[in-house]
Amino acid sequence: MFLCDSQEKLRVALYVQKAALQFIDAARKTEHPLPEMARECGFSVSAEELATVVRNHDAKALRHHMGVDGVARKVNVSLADGVKSDEVGVRAEVYGANQYTEKPPRTFWMFLWDACQDMTLLLLAFCAFVSVAIGLATEGWPSGMYDGLGIVLTILLVVMITAASDYNQSLQFRDLDREKKKIDMQVTRDGYRQKVSIYDIVVGDIVHLSIGDQVPADGLYIDGYSLVVDESSLSGESEPVHMSSAKPFLLGGTKVHDGSARMLVTAVGMRTEWGNLMETLSQGGEDETPLQVKLNGVATIIGKIGLVFAVLTFTVLMARFLVGKAHAPGGLLRWRGADALSILNFFAVAVTIIVVAVPEGLPLAVTLSLAFAMKKLMEERALVRHLSACETMGSASCICTDKTGTLTTNHMVVEKVWASGAAQTVSTAKGFDELRSSVSENFTRVLLEGVFHCSGSEVVTSKDGRTSVMGTPTETAILEFGLEVEKYTKVEHADAKKLKVEPFNSVKKTMAVVIASPNAAGHPRAFLKGASEVVLSRCGSVLDGTGAAEKLTEAKAKRVASAIDAFACEALRTLCLAYQDVGGASDVPGDGYTLIAVFGIKDPLRPGVREAVRTCHDAGINVRMVTGDNINTAKAIARECGILTDDGVAIEGPEFRAKSPNEMRELIPKIQVMARSLPLDKHTLVTNLRGMFNEVVAVTGDGTNDAPALHEADIGLAMGIAGTEVAKENADVIIMDDNFSTIINVAKWGRSVYINIQKFVQFQLTVNVVALMVNFVSASFTGSAPLTIVQLLWVNLIMDTLGALALATEPPNDAMMRRPPVGRGDNFITKVMWRNIIGQSMYQLLMLGVLIFKGKSLLRLGSGGDVSDAQLNTFIFNTFVFCQVFNEVNSRDMEKVNVFSGIFSSWIFPAVAGATAAFQVIIVEFLGTFASTVHLSGRLWLASMMIGSGSLLMGAGLKFIPVDPGSEGSSDRHDGYQPIPTGPNAV
């Protein structure tokens, strides 16, 4: 009876539980109804319901869906084979694409509106409309509107060109931003492991995660080893989170701190937590670079000087006008519309002087030059993530570079193997035959077991049946060696279950795995692989040729160490492989291993590296190799590529970090190679180079642990192929081809940016000085300004936008890399620049001053009358413009006499110079009504161009005047190439 009651209660409880589950399920279906399209495609869970599971870390909901396996069934995917390729489009349509909503880009009309907000242009526009009103009232239609309409049309031209320039730059930066976001992930599809773009990942994809990866979407942990995720970008928590089957919720946008795993994607794009965060963020622009900040200060000073000259010019013109008015019939009591028009014109001239004086082209030139350099560097396989990095790279005095993949090709192959007491060359069939004959089948089985199971990479078979290895170059080399051993020995490795994995990282310099070994009757067996010295120090025995372990005596250990050194001296990377049977335990042992083999891996030097290092030395840039490899390997490679010299020092990381600050101060300048280094050693070296020696340091890195050094350096350079996403995010520049020669191109373009801005500043200040002085002096002595409002606006266009376009986009030349690097504290406007500015200004002021006061008699224009005045003013305007055109050519090189060298290396400069001259002809000959110009005879055109071309002769003469750069920087700097300033007062 009692048993029946118990069964009845249990049955009732089960019914109640079932009813509760059905109720909950019905509630969920009501809350997240399944769309008809999803049902037709074979899916049984909606996108919203699936997204909330991970986003809310809802373990209860996950249990309701029967765990990861149940979710996989509901999204119709196999955890072993992954998504089918022909389903990707359908999944994207049902569950969404892995793309985030971005703020709409700024349109051309927005830039046009910004350009119209310039206060001085608005003042001029107001003056123009008042001028039209007064002109129509006094002179009638249509002559009364010509002056005002000319100003309006010129303002529109300035605004249109400014907006077009800004819009074009925004398009370039948008393209570069798109490049920054390109990430490839490894996924399993159609049963094969392959790489796909992060944007092509869909719900149901099986994604493989490893150290340094960014989690591409929200998902669930399937399986893996020691997975640790950094969620600080989402939660703000600094402590990494350990993931497992019990804690399976992986959020997109987080970073893999350690370990490896497979995840099932459950939400993509805007349904992820990261997507929601991205939607709330506004689209930020680039911060101003140090050089832009510096030049903004220069522009402010010049603008204030221009304001003073504008006020003085207006005051002088008004004073002369009032004096003349007082002596006229009727005196100051009789006013006409023409008088108001004159006063308005004086005010407009003053405002225009401010427009010309304020050098808006300075920040424009920096942005234009940087945008141009970034675009060209993209073509040369370097992605600049931060604008300031491009200009800062021009001042780099030291490069701390990795060895593997940067100086070498990163295409590795096992060249030699030390096994059973002897070294064998295994790069040929004969070498494999000798290896096979020197060891037993038992030895080969243990070797293959270690090679294939103690690896973070994977042997995969493609759809066409070809076998390949997917993973890091080092492990790829070892696995390919294992495949060759299987081919030659006919011994194959057996599959085994992995019980525990400790992935490789650059601090431990080893990886370990515990497997249920078929060769050990299914008992756990641990394998250890990594840096030769580290693994050897943890071994107590060595495997002989028969496959038996024998004690590793001190004499045998020395012989193994000698073999390692011999491999290293041949520039081979060395790794050791060892094993240990661990009985019933599954933990990774600390020591007591049996050494199996030592691998010597060949990684050839990249073509062009020697020449690139020599270029660095010629440019005064010290190159230091910082690597985790054996010191003998590092020294051999460093000598081969020219980094290590006879008087240089090669040191190991442990020895370096044991030094005191005083010892480091003595040692660091001599260090050329640091081997067996930890990421902390690289960070310490960079910090001391910057702090103790005030060096501008560029650092290369590819691993997650390189992030602190990349962040600390003046310029962080991440590797695009071998680099992790964490390294790339902390870098300023991504070297897309991992090539050291590309780094030199970044330095060359950085120097080019700096010198181009110096050229432009020299050109612009000359125009400023001459334009201000000509109008002020003429107003003071003659009572009128020879350059009208429209003419001054045209000069402003030549000086700012067109000048920036011509000079800021000059490509670099090899001579730039034969100069010392720029430093941190010297003046931006150098003595060489002052010499050129003052010399050119004096020449132009002298020529124009003679024309203002003696032009009519020298040019035989007659002694008076409106016609001769108009011809003289047109001639002065024309001469002034051609002085700037020829001085623009002269500004191409601040030191060399031959300024035409390489002038056609870029089409932009000759096109801008030619267009300026052509527009000048049109303005003078065809737009006289609006520009206040008259027709000039051939004789006057020739005379005008001859005076203008005198700027070239003057420039050539100035370059023979020696300039002492002593106070501007170190005594070995020359050629006017000066350091980037750091303070706002370094003018």
Q: Which residues are catalytic?
A: 402
- Nearest-CA neighbor of 794 among 690, 660, 665, 884? 884
User: What's the distance, Cα to Cα, between the start and end of the chain in Å?
Assistant: 102
Q: Angle 938-958/831-859 helices, nearest 10 degrees?
A: 150
Instruction: Specify the amino acid at residue 28.
Output: R
How many whole angstroms separate alpha carbon 819 and alpha carbon 827? 17
Q: Tokens 């003469």 map to which residue? A: 957
Task: Check: CB of residue 82 under 8 Å from CB of residue 189.
Answer: yes
CB-based burial of residue 250 (10 Å sphere; 0-12 exposed, 13-18 middle, 19+ buried)?
buried
Q: Cα–chain-centroid distance for residue 80?
A: 38
Q: What is the 3-state secondary structure (H, E, C) of 520-547?
A: HCCCEEEEEEEEHHHHHHCEEEEECCCC
> For residue 470, what are the β-bridge partners?
458
Instruction: Specify the amino acid at residue 547.
Output: G
| H-only helix segments in 181-245 | 232-235
> For residue 530, what are the β-bridge partners?
510, 576
Query: Per the structure block, which two tokens stand in for 230?
Result: 């950094």
How many whole angstroms separate alpha carbon 649 and alpha carbon 752? 32
How many whole angstroms separate alpha carbon 215 and alpha carbon 255? 6
Instruction: Specify the amino acid at residue 210.
Output: S
Distances (CA, A) of 283 to 103, 414, 628, 956: 6, 48, 39, 48
Q: Tokens 């390949």 map to which residue? A: 468
Residue 487 CB partners (closer than 8 Å, separation 6+): none
Distances (CA, A) of 167 to 108, 112, 139, 368: 6, 9, 41, 11
Query: Per the structure block, which two tokens stand in for 471?
Result: 């993973």
Q: Angle 67-74/47-55 helices, nearest 10 degrees?
A: 160
Please give the full DSSP string across 783-835, using - where no structure is assigned.
SS-SS-HHHHHHHHHIIIIIHHHHHTTPPP-GGGGGSPPP-SSS-SS-HHHHH
Residue 462 CB partners (closer than 8 Å, separation 6+): 192, 468
How many whole angstroms separate alpha carbon 635 and alpha carbon 637? 6
Helix (H, G, I), strand (E, B) or coil at 597: strand
How many whole angstroms separate alpha carbon 987 and alpha carbon 984? 8
Query: Per the structure block, which two tokens stand in for 484?
Result: 């060759």
Task: Check: CB of residue 148 under 8 Å from CB of residue 135.
Answer: yes
Q: Cα–chain-centroid distance for residue 159?
A: 31
Length of the chain, in residues: 987
Q: Cα–chain-centroid distance for residue 896?
A: 32
Task: Check: CB of residue 783 under 8 Å from CB of residue 320.
Answer: yes
The single-letter DSSP state of residue 214 is: B
Residue 737 CB partners (closer than 8 Å, separation 6+): 381, 720, 721
- Nearest-CA neighbor of 181 among 739, 728, 715? 728
How many whole angstroms separate alpha carbon 868 and alpha carbon 847? 19
Query: Per the structure block, which two tokens stand in for 437?
Result: 């004959």
How many whole angstroms separate alpha carbon 779 and alpha carbon 784? 5
The single-letter DSSP state of residue 289 is: P
